[in-house]
A and B are shown apart, each in its own frame.
Chain A
């Protein structure tokens, strides 16, 4: 290898190293810090977030809840999260026991899609860490509490405005 090519290699190598230094320097002095000082600063959570579960209240029904203990959420769940016992008949059917074991839940959202009455939803709350396992078994009263961030129900999420098709949309569109 001639001295000239050798020298050129050294020059290219050195230049690449200096370029790397420039990138870090730019980030050092010219870019903002992206740290959020939790808990003073919190991230914004989009409405579809899979968070804490809530049961939709309905004052006109027994036990003030919209749930009819139809057990469809329990059937849909892959992880054995629900423990539901219903009572009453017909329109008055409501849950006697409605427990969710959040330590088993994988937040897959299938229960919410299964519910025919739009009773169960997830809100944007993610702060339910705890020191004891028992607190993860959330009972009916906890899930029906009103003093928490309310989430959008499945029906509401489906009815939200969506991105319109663009003018450049190619190919035939389905009319289904």
Chain B
């Protein structure tokens, strides 16, 4: 679909087709997303996403606040996985200013990022099950997510919009007792994941709903610049933590989970696998936590040098990148946000073409978008 292709608004369709509006208010669009579906009976001929309902001018804010003040806004983009966005932004600014982050702070950042990944994937699992009708899955997913949020609250003071990443380190050090709590939580979660595999993953009904649905061939996945579980579910082993490592990730031993199915089920399995890998990383990080300061020494008034830098991070939804341009003052010239959900959503018509309307919910759930990230 080219930019000037306005035929999508031409409602004079072929006699058999109806246009259904899955409006901004809908239980399953994961936020305020409007989808224009062209249906022939139950089969979707075209899906047209209409976004922008949650646009909050985050990039404008990046140009009118100083570097430290922009960080809290980064949490609010993909509000489900708040720490992941902050990570990208502080990476970018630190690369711009040439700041070296102490190792203890890097480990703390990784622990927070991976806890956020578990929390985000649990929420995805919960909403995915709920969209397919298994309401109990929703409650179970949130029950576990609450425990992760408790851990994050211990360290950060907030549950949803964390603001613990600072330019040069983290806001506060790891509190005493955190290691024990984290290890207890990992022990608690391990058998639960097995239970949830028995409940949903192996379930014949889910397999019927998810296998062969929403196929995105690997070449298309790469062409549409999808990232994260969407591209890994199509067999392409692209993970920024491996291909373009940042922070303390080179210290840790973990697998990049991919599946070859290219359908909803393989994306599902990728995310469940990623939860387990995140647990591995957290365990290694918390057990090997180094000593040292949690914040680099920075001048009281922070000014970044002139230049630009790019910070790329593997968020639970894919490749979130921040491109920061500085001019020597305390306020950035440009903060460009590259959102994974935006790119992944563009692949929706490819995945949905020819599928039935009942599949749309499953496909949208498998892409896992958060409108805060799509619209910024």
Contacts and interface: CB of A to CB of B under 8 A. Distances in A.
Interface in B44-101: 61, 65, 68-73, 76
Interface string A1-24: 000000000001110110110111
B191 to A, nearest CB: 11
Contacts of B174: 162-163
A23 B198 contact: yes
Nearest to B151: A46
Contacts of A45: 153
A175 B293 CA distance: 8
Contact of A20 (B65, B70, B104, B200): B200
B199 A109 contact: no
Contact of A107 (B158, B196, B251): B158
Contacts of A133: none
A40 B176 CA distance: 29
B203 A20 contact: yes
B36 interface: no
Interface string A105-118: 01111100100000
A39 interface: no
A160 B8 CA distance: 59
B198 A46 contact: no
Question: Interface on chain B toward A: helix, strand, loop, or mixed SS?
Answer: helix
Nearest to B154: A46
B103 interface: yes
B197 to A, nearest CB: 9
B287 A174 contact: no
B291 A78 contact: no
Given A48-B175, A165-B290, A76 B69 contact: yes
B288 A174 contact: no
Nearest to A51: B157
B13 interface: no
Contacts of B117: none
A125 to B, nearest CB: 13
Interface in A18-75: 19-20, 22-24, 26-27, 34, 45-46, 48-50
Interface residues of B, number: 54
Interface in B142-195: 143, 146, 153-158, 161, 163, 171-179, 195
B133 interface: no
Interface string A148-176: 00000000011011111110111111111
B163 A109 contact: yes
Contacts of B73: 78
B203 A17 contact: yes
Contacts of B161: 106-107
Contacts of A20: 198-200, 202-203
B69 A110 contact: yes
A110 B154 CA distance: 18
Nearest to B163: A108
B198 A19 contact: yes
Nearest to B72: A108
A115 to B, nearest CB: 13
Contacts of A109: 157, 163, 171
Contact of B157 (A22, A34, A46, A166): A46
B172 A164 contact: no
Contact of B69 (A26, A78, A164, A165): A78
Nearest to A176: B293
Contacts of B69: 76-78, 110
Contacts of A49: 153, 157-158
A76 B330 CA distance: 12
B176 A175 contact: no
A163 B289 contact: yes
B291 A164 contact: yes
B102 A166 contact: no
A174 B104 contact: yes
Contacts of A26: 195
Contacts of A176: 102, 292-293, 296-297
B203 A16 contact: yes
Given A113-B171, A169-B291, A176-B297, A48 B176 contact: no
Given A46-B153, A78-B72, A161 B163 contact: no
A26 B191 CA distance: 13
Contacts of B177: 163
30 contacts: A16-B202, A17-B203, A20-B199, A20-B200, A20-B202, A20-B203, A26-B195, A46-B153, A48-B154, A48-B156, A78-B72, A78-B73, A106-B161, A109-B171, A110-B69, A122-B157, A162-B175, A163-B173, A163-B176, A163-B178, A163-B289, A164-B291, A166-B288, A166-B289, A169-B291, A170-B251, A173-B104, A173-B292, A174-B104, A174-B292
